[in-house]
Amino acid sequence: MNTFTYKYPVTVYFGEKAAEKNLQSELAKVGNTVMLAYGGGSVKKNGIYDELVSILKIVGKTIVEFTGIMSNPTYNKVQEGAKLARENNVDFILAVGGGSVIDCCKIVSAQAKLDEDIWELEYTNHGVPTQFIPMGAVVTAFGTGAEMNNGAVITNEDKMMKSPLWGAFYNFAILDPEYTMTMPMKQVISGSFDTLIHCMETYFGTPRENNLSDDINFSVMRSVIKNMCATLKDPTDKYARSELIWAAAMAENGILKLGKVTDFQCHMLEHQLGAYTDCNHGQGLAVIHPVLYRHIYKEAPEQFARMAVEVWGISPDGKTTDDLALAGINALAEFIKEVGLPTTFAQMNISTDTNFKAIAESTIRTGGCCKKITTDELYEILMECC
C-alpha cells in the first residue's frame, strides 16, 4: 500500500430515529439562522420536512429555505444558494436529500464565504477554499456517499462542464433507513449501482497488487450486489436497505481508498455525458462501464481476474488470466441487465446526434486508470455505447 494519513471529520448517526435522537444536540452547537436545503416536494409528502422543521423550531432556530435543487445541480444554483446564505447571514446549512442536494450545499458553504468565484479559484488559480458555513446532512436518497466527503459534482452550463469542485465536509450525517423507504425503485437501483462503481473505480487504481483496502472493498462490493438483489425481491426489506445505505457511506468515507491512487475514469466520462444530456448518473455508468473495461483490461489483467473470482464468484479452474478478466466483465454486464439498468444510450433516450466528440475531448483523463486512455479511445467507447 502507498503511504497515507487518515483523518475523518464527519460524525455519522446511523439507524432508526437518528434525527429524533441526535439532531437537537447537534443544532444546539450552531448559530441561530439555519438554511434548510432540499430538492423538490418529496420531503414534504413523506413527512420528513415537517419532522425536521419541528426539531428546528424546538431549538429556536430561524429557518431560511433553499429549495428546488435539481438532480444534476448547476453552478447557477450554487450561486443562488450562496447569495441567499450571505443575505440572510446563515450560520448553518442543513442539507436534506440525496447526493445532488448534499453536493450543492458543500459548494454553497464555501462560495458564501468567498469574495471570488469558486470555479475560477479551483480551476484557474488552482486554489481551494478554506472557510465554510458549517453543515449537517440528512440523507433521504442514498448511493453517492456524498455526505461522507468534501467533493461535489456540479454542472457549469455556461462552460458545458460537469466537474468536481472541493467544498466543505459535513459536521454530521444522519442515515436513517426509514427516510429512504419512499425512494422510487429505479432511483434505489441507480444509486446502489453508483455505490458499486465507486468501489470498482477505487479498486482498479494503484497499487495493482492485492492489499487490505482491496480486501475490504471486495466485501463491500459483494454486499452491494447481494442487497440490490434482495431489495428488488422485497422493496420493504429494511435490513437490505440499511446495508445499502452503509455501503454507500463506506465507498466514500475514505476507508477503501487508503493507500490507493483511484481510477474514476468512467465517472469522468459519464459526468461529461451528463453535462451534454442531463442524464441519470447511475444509468450512464451502467452503459459505459462494461464497454470501457473491455478497452482497458489487458493493461491490468491480474487485477480484473482477481475481481472476477472475489466478487463474482467465477472459478479460475481451466481459465487463463485473460479468460477470467473477461468473465468478470461479462458478469458485470449480466448483472446490469438483471437489475434492470440500461445497456445502451438508446435505452436512455440519448440521441445519436449528441456531440460525443465534444464530450470525449472535454473529459478529464485520470491518473489512476490502468491504461493511459486517449481522447480518441474515449470517443470510440461512447460510440460503442450507442
Q: What is the DSSP string of 251-303?
A: HHSSGGGTT-B---HHHHHHHHHHHHH---HHHHHHHHHHHHHHHHGGGSHHH
Any alpha helices (H) in the chain, and if so which ranges? 18-27, 42-45, 48-58, 75-87, 99-111, 118-119, 185-203, 212-233, 238-252, 265-277, 281-296, 301-310, 321-338, 356-362, 375-384
For residues 21-38, average pLDDT: 97
The fold for domain 11-180 equals: Rossmann fold (3.40.50)
Residue 2: pLDDT band by 50, 70, 90 thresholds? confident
Cα diameter, the chain: 68
Superfamily of the domain at 185-384: Dehydroquinate synthase-like - alpha domain (1.20.1090.10)
For residues 60-86, average pLDDT: 97
Q: Please give the pLDDT value at position 7.
A: 82
Distances (CA, A) of 124 to 17, 116, 127, 128: 44, 12, 8, 11
pTM for the complete prediction?
0.95
The dihedral built from the CA positions of residue 188, 194, 197 and 202, taken in this order, carries a sign that is negative
Residue 367: pLDDT band by 50, 70, 90 thresholds? confident
- Res 44 pLDDT > 80: yes
Eight-class DSSP state of 348: G
- Res 95 pLDDT > 80: yes
pLDDT tens readout for residues 260-295: 999 999 999 999 999 999 999 999 999 999 999 999
Bridge partners of 66, per DSSP, are: 37
- Res 23 pLDDT > 80: yes
- Res 368 pLDDT > 90: no
Calculate ∠ Cα 146-147-149, nearest 5°. Answer: 70
Domains of the chain, by residue range, sit at 11-180, 185-384
